[in-house]
Structure 1
């Protein structure tokens, strides 16, 4: 990170706290991501400036002057540094390598780097290879790169689909010693070139097997050769799909022996020194397919309000700081959920055993007891360490059916009035949420259903019930209570922060909404409640899906930081994750901090620098998990649509570009591309200002939110891509050329 301004920039070292304009100018002109350390060096700040600097950065983030670029990092510019690690993803039309930066914290898709050919005598860069490159910006999102150093510490791995050569393949005409066994199509959709698998390097993989391969030295012209080192399973088995993302993103999925031994040695907790909650009818409410239950709730009337208890599995009792379990949990950062499996943060002996709040079994817990007033204000929040016995394992559907007047035998066995108290407390909490004005995006979550043979039965949106919202509000209340309790006792922790959208993003959103007849206040005065008002305005209309997508794209990503910047989406000044320590490392750290703050365990609490490094690490693992889950859903959808090529489906346009129309299939929520080559022959003009794509010689025009009927033209399951065509239109031009 730079510790001084580039030549020609103004703020000099002052030895005192800079004003807002000096600070903004420094961050704007300095390359890379800037944090408090770089600011302190630039302006010669001392320890006495630490708090006012933190408050200034917080205010500038809240009013949108600065945009986050990682935990405790800020930026104004999206420029890449003069040198960076890049990975080759394919080649251009001339055969020269194209690369992308390995780390990208800027907005939108990562820039493209056009690599210069290697010097004579050096082998060409292969797809998948990583190098340190000197970069020169040649346009928006475009750089030229020259190799400074190849990174060969670890072999590059390629995940893809193996195709055995058939009789029609021209490669069979080559002499036997040059004849390959097959080809490998990379799963990375950015990689354009295939790989050749030489004879004897195929690990006896059958045709259409998903594999992991490593590059081999290239002895001559043609495709780059690779050796298969691991077989993941047949492409036709849907259970193979999730392992593609695991392998591509390097998600740890095997536990070290020492961590497994510690988990297997775990035993139940004793009641000594714990608050006994075994007579409190706490219940867990989860999805029907859930196997770990880490949170339980209870409510009872208290005057005009309610007294509620949120009890969470006592993971901190079993996962001690610095232990093998702790090191592995921090490395993973979180559990990763796929339709066919879970890659857990903790071994099954804990996540599905001693740390799962099974009904009618004694379990250790951390709890927060609090009072909720009729207006939703939470007070008298008190954490504690307890022992509990869940009264029932409930599903969202069970609870909702009982609320709607159709309780089953399990619901009927619960104490009288418990369900009414739970929903009554939720009503109070919802009232406070509406009062402070939060951003409540309605984005349907897709759910993949597999049969016992690993085949996809259906892909459909997950229905969101009031029972889901009830549990969500209880969890938010507990998370806020934990954050405020730690703040009052000056115990540091990792906050869940969500900075406001950058001004340029909000301005883009405001213009897009204006084209749809919707208005927002000026950027400087805009709050989450203004965005939520627009969402409510279009609710139950054809515009709802598009507006929700536009608002989502304008948002910054949430992250973890020891600095309480606040949570824009929830309109909260301080928020910490407390309720899911089985599957999130951040929650485990909050538990440890609460135990220290409440005097239940000796300190010290982690220092600020350690928390900052941990926050950055688990923010990365969280985004890795989100990418894995998102990519896997796209591959499942493409697999399901393979047998439906030629079918016509209803869809709506999500966005437009110069090379095609992105649509979402209504039946599955799948994102797919209608390429320009699939449109009727015309001169098409993309107007970014009005967000329309119109033909010069026809009356056809396309705009976001527009409903379309599309034909499934082509799918690639290994890459999760779907190409579309318009029904009753001539074959796409790329099909006619073929």
Structure 2
């Protein structure tokens, strides 16, 4: 048997010898082979290794023994931050905190990555080969690391509501996620409940699943008590891993920021810029102004000005605020709270364009002709002073003849010139022909207790369109300027629909007698022609929904391929740097390209800018999902005491499993399982977006009006189940032979389910 010192020396020597090679596994079997230990002596070796591990002389990581306090040559690490130079920092995925803080690993990337090589980013998990630095400084990286490969991100814990066992035997978890909800509850042993109390929101790790009994789980984290609707947004925050707590370093940097003076800026404080926002806006980062162009060569033309808060003056590249903003990507808006991209000191104070207060801004002055097309533009770094803070409805009322004490002094010199300039831009918009979908936005208003007071669709005002057109034009100017100066930037792009989706659209339109040749390339104006044909007909909602689903998803990229929906060749987000990191990048790029002072975009590798674009696109999708799920949960809570009530709605989705229903009054979404429909064999026809009864020919199609009864509500999961009461229309009846053939093939492949009245009554 080797001595204790022999074992410790052997393990350290093997680790040292591995060096640049692939790490050698050092476990009990390898040690026994090295020292020729056989038979019963293996039991003694196992006992000795346990003693050394208990004393801390060696440590075990996934059945591998190593020297304590040192990383093995290859580790699984989490990339969590960047240093001042922008290089990625990682930390080991597993580390014993008793040994002190986890060591930092500075990631070294090749200068010229091979084509198609994965690009690591913040939040990634990776297999990394590490080397210790000879004399690391405190709080500095102790290792350098080279990427071997990126790993799939770890599965997040299941979120649920903890229900304690009254007999003190642990409890159960009611899952909040719809996917897990269908699998039933989870069982928690008393030893695995941690500090969770009855009614707490918790994150759990599933330990065991099997055919018999409930799956067992262990509480990983106590999120907080579920006491009211105010906790609903907290569920989405944790379910999607939204960063929502600012660290001390970030808050300190924000608090130390001081208001900007005139310095080298242009003084625009005499210009009557105004902000026009929703009445509940938390930040005000854009202001507008318009005036007739005095140039005789431009009769009927206008000078438009859009001034945007100069966030780049306060959030410098590589700082704590910058790193946090990149991690968040954007602000996330819930009915009861906002998870901001930047702390309030920046977003609601120094960069909020408050009336009658000096604020630094990056402004674009645009000259447009009488027909609305842009003649020229220029960017300026200025100090401005907003003349007023207006709401959309307030500005609209003034233009419609009902001015108040705030808008009356601004009507002739500010608001009416804005309206005339907008009329010109509308001419240019009609010529450009962007996609014109009618998609009303649903809003939820909560009372002081956090409960839903009302659900409504705000009126679409001309002032909404005015601000929208001004912002679109400013975004175009930003992209054009950066391209002209050959400055790398992040575009906002929207790809044209795929050929597959266009062919599917053509098949569907054929079912409502609208001809569209397969393989035809469509522009937004042609989509608008289709929408115009069905306006104020029974097919209007259906066609709007199908055209929307035909479209690609907008994203941030560094390689421009245009914006299909807006029908623009180049487009970049410039107008909301308080709440979108993409806009901050564009601001910095303009500052660098036009030499407008400090806070510009550092010279960066195109691959790094592409990584940022991919990350903020992902953050945007994450935010949209969190906002949508929060609304669904709030409405489900609102309807939970109305089980059995009857509602009018519209079919908003169809698949092999059943019908998705959107209620007309509240906009709530729910599901009608195919098994609860009438006695028939229902088949799913993808081209027609419909379920069709093989025997009766009854069709339930996307967009159809229906009457439903609420059968079940799962508020925490945001899930509603309906029973169809009225709806359906006759379709072209299939032949008897076809019915027989389809019946013989069975129902699994096409989503057909045969039901009978006994089953339906029992389920109701």
TM-score range, shorter chain: 0.7 to 0.9
Q: How does 1:38-437 map to 2 (within 5 A)?
A: 156-165=156-165, 179-190=169-180, 192-199=183-190, 201-202=192-193, 205=196, 207-216=198-207, 222-233=213-224, 235=226, 237-302=228-293, 303-414=299-410, 416-437=412-433
- Per the TM alignment, residue 351 of structure 1 is displaced from its structure 2 partner at its CA by 0.6
Q: Would the alpha carbon gap of residues 269 and 489 (structure 1) be closer, same or farther in structure 2, given more than 3 Å must change?
A: same
2-side partners of 1:411 and 1:203: how far apart?
58
1-side partners of 2:513 and 2:726: how far apart?
33
- Per the TM alignment, residue 402 of structure 1 is displaced from its structure 2 partner at its CA by 1.6
Q: Would the alpha carbon gap of residues 372 and 642 (structure 1) be closer, same or farther in structure 2, given more than 3 Å must change?
A: same
Contact 1:450 1:456 (8 Å CA) reproduced: yes
Q: Would the alpha carbon gap of residues 238 and 415 (structure 1) be closer, same or farther in structure 2, given more than 3 Å must change?
A: same
Q: What is the count of residue pairs matched by the alignment? A: 591
Q: Would the alpha carbon gap of residues 234 and 456 (structure 1) be closer, same or farther in structure 2, given more than 3 Å must change?
A: farther
Matched, 1:681 2:679: yes
- Per the TM alignment, residue 154 of structure 1 is displaced from its structure 2 partner at its CA by 6.7
2-side partners of 1:41 and 1:684: how far apart?
46
Instruction: State the SS of the aligned residue for 2:428.
Output: helix
Deviations 1:421-455 (A, max 9, x none): 11111121121111111112221211111100111
Residue of 626, 629, 639 corresponding to 1:628: 626
Contact 1:368 1:381 (8 Å CA) reproduced: yes
Contact 2:707 2:726 (8 Å CA) reproduced: no
Bigger Rg, which one: 2
2-side partners of 1:671 and 1:218: how far apart?
31
- Per the TM alignment, residue 725 of structure 1 is displaced from its structure 2 partner at its CA by 0.6
* Alignment TM-score, normalising by the size of structure 1: 0.75
Q: Would the alpha carbon gap of residues 713 and 495 (structure 1) be closer, same or farther in structure 2, given more than 3 Å must change?
A: same
2-side partners of 1:577 and 1:663: how far apart?
35
- Per the TM alignment, residue 236 of structure 1 is displaced from its structure 2 partner at its CA by 5.5
Matched, 1:489 2:485: yes
* Greater Cα offset, 687-696 or 338-347: 687-696
- Per the TM alignment, residue 39 of structure 1 is displaced from its structure 2 partner at its CA by 11
Contact 1:648 1:711 (8 Å CA) reproduced: yes
Q: Would the alpha carbon gap of residues 156 and 609 (structure 1) be closer, same or farther in structure 2, given more than 3 Å must change?
A: closer
Contact 1:593 1:605 (8 Å CA) reproduced: no
Q: 2:721 aligns to what?
A: 723
- Per the TM alignment, residue 683 of structure 1 is displaced from its structure 2 partner at its CA by 2.2
Q: Would the alpha carbon gap of residues 732 and 567 (structure 1) be closer, same or farther in structure 2, given more than 3 Å must change?
A: farther
2-side partners of 1:159 and 1:687: how far apart?
36
1-side partners of 2:504 and 2:491: how far apart?
29
- Per the TM alignment, residue 184 of structure 1 is displaced from its structure 2 partner at its CA by 3.0
Deviations 1:291-333 (A, max 9, x none): 2100000001113121010000000000001101111111111
* Greater Cα offset, 511-520 or 327-336: 511-520
Q: Would the alpha carbon gap of residues 509 and 70 (structure 1) be closer, same or farther in structure 2, given more than 3 Å must change?
A: farther
Q: How does 1:460-609 map to 2 (within 5 A)?
A: 460-520=456-516, 522-601=518-597, 604-609=602-607
Residue of 448, 452, 455 corresponding to 1:452: 448
Residue of 665, 668, 676 corresponding to 1:670: 668
Contact 2:329 2:619 (8 Å CA) reproduced: yes
Q: Would the alpha carbon gap of residues 588 and 156 (structure 1) be closer, same or farther in structure 2, given more than 3 Å must change?
A: closer
Contact 1:638 1:721 (8 Å CA) reproduced: yes
Instruction: State the SS of the aligned residue for 2:412.
Output: coil
1-side partners of 2:208 and 2:701: how far apart?
48
2-side partners of 1:159 and 1:423: how far apart?
50
Contact 2:174 2:184 (8 Å CA) reproduced: no
Bigger relative contact order, structure 1 or 2 (CA pairs below 8 A, ≥6 apart): 1
* Greater Cα offset, 709-718 or 473-482: 709-718
- Per the TM alignment, residue 557 of structure 1 is displaced from its structure 2 partner at its CA by 0.9
- Per the TM alignment, residue 641 of structure 1 is displaced from its structure 2 partner at its CA by 1.3
2-side partners of 1:202 and 1:417: how far apart?
66
2-side partners of 1:346 and 1:529: how far apart?
39
Instruction: State the SS of the aligned residue for 2:642.
Output: coil
Contact 2:399 2:411 (8 Å CA) reproduced: no
- Per the TM alignment, residue 190 of structure 1 is displaced from its structure 2 partner at its CA by 4.9
2-side partners of 1:453 and 1:732: how far apart?
44
Contact 2:653 2:702 (8 Å CA) reproduced: yes
1-side partners of 2:452 and 2:611: how far apart?
40
1-side partners of 2:356 and 2:761: how far apart?
62
Q: Would the alpha carbon gap of residues 399 and 671 (structure 1) be closer, same or farther in structure 2, given more than 3 Å must change?
A: same
Q: Which runs of 5+ in 1 are unaligned?
A: 1-36, 43-68, 72-83, 86-148, 167-171
* Alignment TM-score, normalising by the size of structure 2: 0.73
Q: Which runs of 5+ in 2 are unaligned?
A: 1-111, 126-148, 294-298, 728-755
Deviations 1:359-395 (A, max 9, x none): 1111000000011111211122100100111111111
Quote the RMSD (CA, aligned, Å). 3.1
Q: Would the alpha carbon gap of residues 220 and 430 (structure 1) be closer, same or farther in structure 2, given more than 3 Å must change?
A: closer
Q: Would the alpha carbon gap of residues 435 and 351 (structure 1) be closer, same or farther in structure 2, given more than 3 Å must change?
A: same
Q: Would the alpha carbon gap of residues 737 and 219 (structure 1) be closer, same or farther in structure 2, given more than 3 Å must change?
A: closer
Q: Would the alpha carbon gap of residues 222 and 582 (structure 1) be closer, same or farther in structure 2, given more than 3 Å must change?
A: same
1-side partners of 2:501 and 2:262: how far apart?
53
Q: Would the alpha carbon gap of residues 595 and 728 (structure 1) be closer, same or farther in structure 2, given more than 3 Å must change?
A: closer
2-side partners of 1:163 and 1:621: how far apart?
33
- Per the TM alignment, residue 637 of structure 1 is displaced from its structure 2 partner at its CA by 1.7
Contact 2:504 2:687 (8 Å CA) reproduced: no
Q: Would the alpha carbon gap of residues 542 and 234 (structure 1) be closer, same or farther in structure 2, given more than 3 Å must change?
A: farther
Q: Would the alpha carbon gap of residues 608 and 342 (structure 1) be closer, same or farther in structure 2, given more than 3 Å must change?
A: same
Q: Would the alpha carbon gap of residues 697 and 500 (structure 1) be closer, same or farther in structure 2, given more than 3 Å must change?
A: closer
Contact 1:678 1:731 (8 Å CA) reproduced: no
